[in-house]
Copies of this chain bind each other. A is one copy, B any other.
Amino acid sequence: MTITLALDAMGGDEAPTMVIAGADLALKCCSDQLHFRIFGRSEVISGVLASFPKLERCSEIIHTDEVITNHIKPSLALRNGRTSSMGQAVNDVALGKSHAVISAGNTGAYMALSKILLKTFDQIDRPAIPAFIPTLKGKTLVLDLGANIECSPENLVQFAVMGSSYVKQLIHISNPSIGLLNVGSEELKGNAVVQEASRVLKDLKDLNFYGFVEGDHITKGVTDVVVTDGFTGNITLKAIEGTAKLFGQFLKDGINSSWKGKLGYLLAKPVFDNLKHRCDPRLYNGAMFLGLRQIAIKSHGGTDAIGFANAISVAIQLVQQNILQDMENSLAGVT
């Protein structure tokens, strides 16, 4: 099977270079036939593409004049952004010309365009954004990361079902355990929304619901999926990122503070490299907007070619696994 992917070449801090270099990396690692439809300013794209002859042979450039910047509001993107590289790339999936779209551009604009052009499943108001977090046991999927600031119990149940399907398809865990984020593990803890969501989740036969999990259970890897509203999820994910950065800075300060520190660092470099590798955000890059009827993958804007290649690999795996059918079936089972 040839997998056709629509790339927004103009989104992301280092675009279009990292997009194209990322596609080249993905091409090298993928055993499937790949075809790229690359959207953006053709003169810029073709210049970069010339350095990657193998990629050039399986790519076509679709020229667009317009680019969605990081500061455009979603509403404006909806009005004026459909002819942009991002809008055209998303629409390519709607038209059935590509199997999936990947963009590292403006998240709000991308979400709005994807929602309108690719449509959501009947039950879903607004797609959720998931992210994998490194844990003591491997990695855990956390959602929602900010798309849905206020959530009903029904929203949380939908997140649980979609998260389960996503993890099943993407990292091949056959019956992923689902935790609901709360202030304590005991049954009576929390607010009315998590209480009601927990009650419903317990009754879903096809779902491996673990129960409530606490903030530190995420990085402990207590469950494969952690479900929460977009307010708490966004703040928690950023707090985790911030703590990782704090630790990194404290280590750097210590290393640079003395000759002994620097020498020890050189000797123990594999230790630090291993730490860096296990927490490398590029290896966790690429998240599907969960709840859409087609596959749209969001890459971090600040990533490089390795990170973008990872986002492409997420798209490829999801296309191969036929995740949309599984997710639609699972959602149908809860309503």
Chain A interface bracket (under 10, 10 to 19, 20 to 34, 35 or more): 35 or more
B-facing mask of A124-161, CB < 8 A → 1, else 0?
A: 00000000001110000000001001100000000000
Tell me whether B216 and A245 are in contact (CB under 8 A).
yes
A265 interface contact, C-beta 8 A: yes
Q: Does A95 interact with chain B (Cβ within 8 Å)? A: no
Please tell me if A97 contacts chain B, counting CB pairs below 8 Å. no
A174 lies within 8 A of chain B by Cβ: no
Instruction: Report the Cα distance A114→B266, complex, angstroms.
Output: 53
Closest Cβ neighbor of A240 among chain B residues: B243
A55 to chain B, nearest CB (A): 35
B contact residues around A246 at 8 Å (CB): 134-136, 219-220
**Nearest residue, chain B, Cβ from A258:** B270
Complex contacts, A249 vs chain B, CB 8 Å: 136
Question: Is A275 an interface residue, CB under 8 A from the partner?
Answer: yes
Which residue of B136, B240, B242, B269 contacts A264 across the interface (Cβ within 8 Å)?
A: B269
A253 neighbours in B (Cβ, 8 Å) = 274
Return the chain B residue nearest A214 by Cβ.
Answer: B238
**Chain B neighbourhood of A268, CB < 8 A:** 254-255, 260-261, 263-265, 267-268
Partner of A270, one of B218, B240, B261: B261
Q: Are B219 and A239 in contact (CB under 8 A)?
A: yes
> Complex: how many Å from CA A244 to CA B243?
7
Neighbouring B residues of A243 by C-beta, 8 Å: 219, 239-240, 243-244, 247
The stretch of A6-14, A81-89, A229-237, A322-330 in contact with B is A229-237
CB pair A264–B267 under 8 Å, yes or no, is yes
Task: Give the interface centre of A245, A260, A267 by most chain B CB atoms within 10 Å.
Answer: A267
On whether A149 and B191 interact (CB within 8 A), knowing A239-B215, A267-B267, the answer reads: yes
Give the most central of A264, A269, A278: most B CB within 10 Å.
A264
Chain B residue at minimum C-beta to C-beta distance from A244: B243
What residues of B have a CB within 8 angstroms of the CB of A237 in the complex?
Answer: 215
Q: How far is the CA of A238 from the CA of B220 in the complex (A)?
A: 11
Q: How far is the CA of A214 from the CA of B234 in the complex (A)?
A: 9
Query: In the complex, which of the residues B217, B270, B279 contacts A242, with contact meaning CB atoms closer than 8 Å?
Result: B217
Complex contact A236–B234 (CB within 8 A): no
User: Which residues of the partner chain B approach A190 to less than 8 Å between Cβ atoms?
Assistant: 149, 231
Residue from B216, B247, B250 within 8 A of A241 (CB atoms): B216
Contact across chains for A274 and B254 when beta carbons are under 8 A apart:
yes
Query: Footprint of B on A, CB under 8 Å?
Result: 134-136, 146, 149-150, 181-183, 190-191, 214-220, 228, 230-232, 234-247, 249-251, 253-255, 257-258, 260-261, 263-272, 274-275, 278-279
Taking A247-B279, A254-B270, A268-B268 as given, write out 12 further A-B residue pairs in contact, using a Cβ cutoff of 8 Å, ordered by the A residue number: A215-B240, A218-B239, A239-B239, A239-B240, A243-B244, A244-B247, A254-B268, A255-B268, A255-B271, A260-B270, A264-B269, A265-B271
